[in-house]
């Protein structure tokens, strides 16, 4: 795990920084020039492999939500492929380019964020002992001395802040769906009796992507039940002995969720699986959100197709945007939305717009079913 690679003094330095900040606010007089100069000498962490979620917010275009997503993606990365900035939900190509430029300007390697290959410099550890010395100087200059009894409370506050759930992760729970051939690991949010939105994933992603992006929480907030599954052999789902056939597997997953039908959201590889379900069991699909899906060339539309929202990134180099109209021609009544300047994983480039489009579409779909 990458989290274990942080230097031993990391937590101490972070605690010292918090105490320094709080002490500055409480000081009744200005610290001496010597203290100010010593504070200015403290190193700033520029290695994203070691930054805390709070420190990641110094990256361009990264706020609290994205900082949390970066930290979770980095610390949870277990694949053999390097984790690059575009793989983090919500980063997108434009923000990834800005982050790389920012890192290069400060002497740090731009990629990868995590993985086997690494070009990051290693001589970037904090001087945690120096940070504590500065803290002592600062406290003395304020006419105060640190109290031994304050340390456990301060450490508890730091732990509480680090573990506090964000809106994107709160009330998301793990579950297991039993299907023919094995079990599917899944994440769910929302009322179990509410209309079901089933979320699939692309080949480079997993169910966790929808939690990190905030999609599970966004759908649950609208009153629906959102379930994101890990396809066999991906994420937390073990590979099945035999390669599963997409349509029967998804139909079984919907049944395992306690539903007859679902609005299915599928990007890329997952979109190809969703198309297979539409072709073979359209009665199980209340609506389809296909995001630059694979398998368009082999898709045979049924006589009656469900409502469909087809999403593409304008700059998709994997499944060209021209394929959107080809798929729309096979699905009468479907709606095509092109996200400007977005890439293949357009939902990661424009999460706010993506959530707006999906929730609006789902509202219409479920209103028709009432």
Q: Kindly list the catalytic residues.
A: 268, 316, 344
CA nearest neighbour of 89 among 111, 74, 102, 109: 74
| Contact residues for 203 (Cβ-Cβ < 8 A; gap 6+) | 234, 268, 269
Distance, in Å, from the CA atom of 17 to the CA atom of 45, rounded to the nearest integer, reads 12
For 299, phi then psi, to 5°, come to -75, 125
For the chain, the distance separating the N- and C-terminal CA atoms, rounded to the nearest angstrom, is 47
Q: Where are the beta strands (DSSP E) in the chain?
A: 173-179, 182-189, 196-199, 225-229, 262-267, 285-291, 308-313, 335-339
With vertex at residue 312, the alpha carbon angle to CA 308 and CA 316, rounded to the nearest 5 degrees, is: 155
Q: At what angle do helices 10-26 and 128-141 cross, to 10 degrees?
A: 20
CA nearest neighbour of 62 among 88, 32, 27, 36: 88
Contact criterion met (CB below 8 Å) for 312 and 292: yes
For 73, phi then psi, to 5°, come to -65, -40
Contact criterion met (CB below 8 Å) for 353 and 338: no
Measured torsion, CA atoms of residues 232, 235, 236, 242, in degrees rounded to the nearest 10: 20
């Amino acid at each position: 795990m990458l989290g274990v690679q942080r230097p031993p003094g990391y937590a101490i330095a972070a605690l010292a920084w918090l105490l320094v900040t709080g002490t500055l606010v409480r000081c009744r007089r200005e610290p001496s020039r010597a203290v100010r100069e010593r504070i200015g000498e403290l190193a700033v962490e520029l290695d994203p492999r070691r930054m805390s979620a709070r420190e990641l917010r110094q990256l361009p275009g990264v706020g609290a939500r994205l900082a949390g997503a970066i930290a979770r993606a980095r610390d949870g990365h277990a694949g053999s492929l390097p984790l690059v900035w575009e793989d983090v939900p919500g980063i997108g190509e434009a923000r990834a380019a800005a982050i790389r430029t920012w890192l290069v300007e400060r002497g740090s390697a731009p990629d990868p964020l995590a993985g086997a290959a690494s070009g990051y410099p290693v001589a970037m550890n904090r001087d945690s002992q120096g940070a504590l010395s500065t803290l002592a100087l600062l406290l003395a200059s304020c006419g105060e001395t640190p109290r031994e009894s304050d340390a456990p409370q301060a450490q508890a506050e730091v732990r509480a802040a680090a573990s506090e759930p964000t809106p994107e992760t709160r009330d998301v729970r793990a579950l297991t769906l039993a299907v023919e051939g094995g079990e599917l690991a899944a994440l769910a949010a929302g009322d179990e009796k509410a209309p079901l939105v089933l979320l699939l994933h692309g080949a480079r992603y997993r169910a966790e992507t929808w939690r990190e992006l905030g999609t599970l929480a966004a759908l649950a907030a609208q009153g629906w039940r959102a379930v994101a599954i890990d396809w066999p052999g991906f994420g937390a789902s073990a590979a099945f002995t035999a390669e599963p056939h997409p349509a029967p597997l998804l139909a079984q997953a919907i049944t395992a969720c306690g539903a007859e039908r679902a609005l299915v959201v599928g990007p890329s590889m997952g979109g190809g699986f969703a198309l297979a379900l539409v072709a073979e069991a359209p009665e199980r699909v209340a609506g389809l959100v296909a995001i630059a899906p694979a398998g368009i060339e082999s898709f045979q539309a049924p006589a009656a197709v469900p409502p469909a929202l087809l999403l593409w990134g304008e700059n998709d180099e994997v499944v060209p945007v021209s394929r959107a109209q080809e798929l729309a021609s096979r699905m009468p009544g479907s709606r095509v939305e092109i996200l400007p300047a977005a890439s293949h994983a357009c939902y990661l480039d424009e999460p706010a717009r993506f959530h707006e489009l999906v929730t609006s579409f789902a509202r219409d779909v479920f209103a028709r079913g009432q």
